[in-house]
């Protein structure tokens, strides 16, 4: 009897402890705890060796930190953790002196914030920083021949469908610290990263379901403003599992227009017309739905964000959907069935060139479609277009690995086309430049001597941008289109508790002159603004503008 009373009391005590409300002191303590834990993980040599089960240390001390009632009580816990990892000997072999260009991502000023940390603990942490002893780290390594971070030893805790509160906080702290020390575009974040931690702690604590936990990780990942920043889970592959209203949506002037059909018969039966404006989907206003999607959507800029929202807006969970649409001055409701989401959506209205690898648009104009051209096609394609006066290279897609074989045909000589930064794995938070990458070959008497026109839009992302940057080094190039997706650098994947996997750009990418591409993209020399009329009439306004340039020279 006494055993069962003790067990019930223990369960009640644990629940009541987890349910402790967060006041300002406790929130600051938890945020500081996460920072100290991550700093020691990457800066303390004994922790970095994997000598301790560092996840277990966080979980073990979590409740004590959460329930600490004062700064003094909290710092007793921090002191105990610092004592447990051991003293490190002074190391003056390399002074911590880096130029500002390499320190732009460094965020350790919190060490000196004594609103949470005691002066004594602050000094101890600063000593560890000053006496950093470079060595390999159990938790992170450099991807061979590439340079982006790899997290082979981070436990995904795949058996946890809904991790308990301490493991959810582990997920938050693990992600926050990886971005803090290893995200190459940390300096570009819209939000203060310290404030993001304060905002997210209560949200991760108050999660009530596994789906909500997944969404919180998506929301967190969207905070880094990175088009690569998706979150994957085998349990939540929603893009594949959801159904789709058989329409294509494009937004103009904040209005969601139906601009195409994925099933003509269904849309005809439902009496939907191209040009109809969607006001509501299942009684939810489209403006609210767009804001909801944006909250979880990784995007480097608004151009790419709006493109992705247009893709996601027709995705639904139900078999039949009620649409409220406006046609001219009339507003009416339409019921329409949703289909299995098997059709890849594309932004391009004109399907004429989608499957063409290369062709001649006229005797003087060649065309290459980077989305379907492969390496074996480069030589025959070049023979076909080599003597044309103009070459349109369509990069509104995701290409095969063509950057080097194609640049060896198009460029006159070998040129640097990209600068790259990778993390300084000896000094977390610092970046270092690697030698510029070069495209083309040393001497190429058979280079393309006509005018090259590169077409880009918001689908031009990552490898497509990388390839466009190489081709841009040819002798006579102009770029026509809209802002690209602006997500560059090989992707790193961070496992999180609950078998969640968070992606982010792992390398910094810059033009040869040092200008950044992330969030900015490949800037067009001539901008194209697609129109509602053009999309409804299935005109490819990018090709039209390229042909206009060929005819007029401007």
Given pLDDT bands bounded at 50, 70 and 90, which one contains residue 353? low
Given pLDDT bands bounded at 50, 70 and 90, which one contains residue 98? confident
What one-character DSSP code corresponds to residue 345?
P
pLDDT tens digits along 50-83: 999 999 999 999 999 999 999 999 999 999 999 9
Q: Sign of the CA dihedral 458, 460, 463, 465?
A: negative
Looking at residue 462, its pLDDT comes to 97
Given pLDDT bands bounded at 50, 70 and 90, which one contains residue 347? very low
Spell out the domain ranges in the chain.
Answer: 1-132, 243-340, 358-493+504-552
State what percent of residues in the chain have pLDDT above 70: 93
Given pLDDT bands bounded at 50, 70 and 90, which one contains residue 24? very high
Mean pLDDT to the nearest integer, 205-217: 95
SS3 336: strand
The CA distance from 177 to 100, in Å, is: 21
Q: Sign of the CA dihedral 282, 285, 288, 294?
A: positive
pLDDT tens digits along 163-188: 999 999 999 999 999 999 999 999 99
Q: Is the pLDDT of residue 240 over 80?
A: no
More confident position, 512 or 9 = 512
Q: Is the pLDDT of residue 7 over 50?
A: no
Q: Distance between alpha carbon 224 and the CA centroid of its chain, in Å? A: 7
pLDDT tens digits along 373-404: 999 999 999 999 999 999 999 999 999 999 99
Q: Is the pLDDT of residue 6 over 50?
A: no
pLDDT tens digits along 395-438: 999 999 999 999 999 999 999 999 999 999 999 999 999 999 99
- Least confident interval from 133-137, 292-296, 300-304: 133-137
Mean pLDDT to the nearest integer, 38-54: 97
Query: Which whole-number Å values give the CA distances from 3 to 11, 13, 16, in the listed order?
Result: 12, 15, 20
- Contact between 158 and 499 under an 8 Å Cβ cutoff? The reply is yes
* CATH number listed for the domain at residues 243-340: 2.30.42.10
Q: Is the pLDDT of residue 343 over 60?
A: no
Averaged confidence pLDDT in the chain: 92
- The structure tokens listed for 44 are 């303390």
Looking at residue 236, its pLDDT comes to 82
DSSP alpha helix (H) spans, 68-209: 71-85, 119-130, 165-182, 193-205
- Contact between 67 and 29 under an 8 Å Cβ cutoff? The reply is no
Looking at residue 239, its pLDDT comes to 61
Q: Which CATH class is domain 358-493+504-552?
A: alpha beta
In residues, how long is the chain?
554
């Amino acid at each position: 009897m006494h055993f069962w009373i003790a067990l019930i009391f223990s369960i009640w005590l644990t629940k009541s402890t987890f349910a402790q409300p967060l006041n300002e002191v406790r929130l600051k303590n938890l945020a500081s705890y996460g920072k100290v834990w991550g700093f020691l993980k990457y800066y303390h040599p004994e922790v970095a060796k994997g000598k301790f089960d560092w996840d277990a240390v966080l979980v073990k001390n979590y409740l004590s930190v959460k329930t600490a009632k004062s700064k003094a009580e909290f710092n007793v816990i921090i002191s105990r953790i610092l004592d447990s990892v051991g003293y490190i000997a002074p190391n003056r072999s390399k002074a911590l002196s880096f130029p500002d260009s390499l320190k732009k991502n460094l965020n350790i000023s919190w060490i000196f914030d004594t609103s949470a940390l005691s002066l004594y603990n602050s000094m101890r942490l600063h000593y560890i920083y000053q006496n950093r002893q470079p060595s390999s780290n159990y938790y992170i390594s450099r991807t061979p021949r590439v340079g982006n971070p790899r997290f082979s030893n981070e436990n995904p805790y795949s058996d946890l469908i809904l991790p308990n509160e301490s493991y959810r906080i582990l997920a938050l702290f693990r992600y926050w610290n990886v971005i803090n020390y290893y995200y190459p575009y940390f300096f570009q974040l819209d939000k203060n990263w310290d404030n993001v931690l304060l905002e997210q702690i209560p949200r991760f604590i108050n999660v009530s379901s596994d789906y909500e936990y997944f969404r919180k990780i998506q929301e967190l990942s969207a905070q880094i403003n990175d088009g690569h920043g998706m979150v994957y889970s085998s349990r939540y592959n929603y893009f594949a599992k959801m159904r789709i209203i058989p329409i294509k949506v494009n937004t103009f002037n904040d209005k969601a227009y139906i601009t195409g059909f994925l099933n003509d018969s269904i849309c005809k039966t439902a009496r939907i017309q191209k040009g109809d404006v969607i006001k509501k989907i299942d009684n939810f206003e489209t403006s609210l739905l767009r804001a909801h999607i944006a909250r979880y959507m990784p995007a480097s800029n608004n151009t790419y964000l709006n493109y992705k929202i247009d893709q996601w807006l027709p995705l639904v969970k139900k078999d039949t959907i009620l649409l409220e649409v406006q046609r001219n001055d009339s507003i009416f409701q339409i019921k329409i069935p949703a289909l299995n989401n098997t059709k890849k959506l594309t932004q391009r209205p004109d399907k004429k060139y989608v499957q063409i690898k290369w062709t001649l648009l006229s005797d003087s104009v060649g065309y290459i479609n980077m989305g379907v051209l492969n390496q074996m096609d480069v030589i025959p394609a070049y023979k076909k277009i080599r003597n044309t006066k103009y070459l349109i290279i369509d990069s509104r897609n995701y290409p095969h690995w063509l950057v080097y074989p194609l640049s060896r045909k198009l460029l006159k000589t070998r040129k640097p086309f990209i600068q790259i930064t990778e993390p300084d794995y000896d000094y977390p938070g610092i970046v270092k430049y690697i030698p510029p990458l070069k495209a083309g070959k040393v001497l190429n008497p058979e280079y393309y001597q006509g005018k090259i026109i590169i077409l880009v839009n918001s689908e031009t992302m990552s490898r497509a941008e990388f390839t466009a940057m190489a081709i841009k080094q040819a002798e006579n190039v102009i770029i026509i289109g809209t802002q690209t997706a602006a997500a560059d650098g090989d992707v790193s994947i961070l496992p999180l508790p609950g078998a969640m996997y968070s992606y982010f750009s792992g390398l910094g990418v810059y033009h040869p002159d040092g200008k950044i591409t992330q969030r900015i993209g490949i800037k067009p020399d001539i901008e194209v603004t697609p129109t509602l009329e053009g999309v409804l009439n299935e005109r490819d306004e990018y090709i039209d503008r390229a042909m206009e340039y060929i005819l007029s020279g401007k």
